[in-house]
Amino acid sequence: MPTTKPSRRGRPPAGARPGERVTDYPQLSLRIPHTTLLTLQAASTVIGEPQWCVLADAVNRYIAQMPPHERGLLDGLLRRAGSLFAQPSKRNPGPKVDQLKVLNVDDNEAMLFARSTMMRKEGWLVMEAQTGRAALELLKRHRPDVVLLDVHLPDISGLEICRRIKGDPRTRDIKVVQLSATVKTPIDQLHSLEQGGADIYLTEPLARGTLLSVIERLVKTGTAA
C-alpha cells in the first residue's frame, strides 16, 4: 500500500500581526558571535517565542534605555539612511551602466584589495590610494565617478579629504562614499554626512551587493536611495 511522505516544510513562524509570516519580512544578514547566537536560540526556546521576536524585543529595550541625545541621533540616521538599510543583502542587478571610474582609498591593504577586486570583476576601472595625499594627487590627474573613502587615514582625515573634494568646484560633483571599518557611533555618522559632505556613509562589514548597488545608484540617479 503506497504511503504518503510527510512534508518537510513546517509552518513558518508567525509575524507581528495575524496572517503575517516571517517570509513577508525583509531578510536579515548579520555576523554575530557564536555564543550570542546560542543565547538567542536558548532564550527563544525558554520563552516559546520566535527568535525574531526575542531579537526585536532586545533591540527595542536597548533603544528605550539610550540617552535622549543618542535616540535623537538614531532617529536622524533612520531618516537619512532608512532606504539604504532596507536594501537586500543580495544585489538585484539592473541595466548595466557605462564603465565606472572609481578611486578606492583605504590604508588597510586587505580591505583595499578586496574592494578593488570586487569592482574590477564588474568591469570598472579602479584606482587605489592608501593615504589622503595620494588620493588628492590622483584626483588632480584623473576624474573618478566615485570615491570610496575610508574615514581613518594615516595622514589626512577622510572627513577632511571629503571636504576638499566637495569644496572644490572642479571636483564637487564627484560622488563620495564614506566608509568605516570600525564600529562608529551615530554622531560620527551624522558628522560625516553633514560636516564632511559625503553623499552617503556606510559602516563595514558591508554586503557586496549593497556596496555595488549604492555606487551604481549614486552614478545613475545622484542619490543612494
Q: pLDDT tens digit string along 84-133?
A: 455 444 555 555 556 899 999 999 888 888 889 889 988 999 999 999 99
CATH number of 101-221: 3.40.50.2300, 1.10.3720.10, 3.40.50.300, 3.40.50.1110? 3.40.50.2300
**How would you class 111 by CB atoms within 10 Å of its CB: exposed for 0-12, middle for 13-18, buried for 19 or more?**
middle
Q: pLDDT tens digit string along 131-168?
A: 999 999 999 899 999 999 998 899 998 889 999 999 99
- Every domain of the chain and the residues it spans: 29-81, 101-221
154 Cβ neighbours under 8 A, 6+ residues apart = 107, 130, 131
Q: What distance, in Å, lies between the first and last C-alpha atoms of the chain?
A: 59
pTM for the full predicted model: 0.57
Q: Among residues 34, 52, 33, which one has the least CA distance to residue 44?
A: 52
Identify the H or E element spanning 129.
strand 125-129
